[in-house]
Copies of this chain bind each other. A is one copy, B any other.
Amino acid sequence: MIVGTEWLIEAKGCNRDALRDEDKIKSILSRVIDDLGLRVVGEVWHKFGGEGGVTGLIALTESHLACHTYPEHGVATFNLYCCRSRPEWDWEHYLTDLLGASNVLVTRVQRGESEFQITNLRSEISDLKFEIAGGER
């Protein structure tokens, strides 16, 4: 039973100041929400002190959207979990444009299954699927 789709996004080589800019990170997540027609039911934001990064968690009627930034490494990661079908958002385009990312990896995972299905959206290994040995009790 697939209960949702989760996208895991790794953005590397980002502008470090951008990763410390809570307003910028909020604006990116807002754009995802607007573009995909998601509905917010609550959110938590945390800016780590000094040169630290930003954490944002947004609860959606469709599940959740999360971001953590690591300015010290030039890395941001995102999770978008949707329990209903949504189009692909162009993470690579927007994170390159808005965070200066030099490399964006987007991986899609189906949730709720006892076999683990992942798809890398820029990979030639598309729709890789393997059954987990021992996954059933």
Contact = CB atoms under 8 A, between A and B. Distances in A.
Nearest to A8: B109
B68 A8 contact: no
A63 B59 contact: no
Given A10-B112, A112-B75, A114-B10, A4 B68 contact: yes
B111 A77 contact: yes
- Chain A interface category by residue count: 35 or more
Given A55-B59, A59-B44, A135 B120 contact: yes
A98 interface: no
B77 A79 contact: no
A39 to B, nearest CB: 11
Contacts of A125: 130, 132-133
A107 interface: yes
Given A105-B114, A135-B120, A42 B42 contact: no
Given A4-B77, A73-B3, A75-B1, A135 B114 contact: no
Contact of A3 (B44, B70, B124): B70
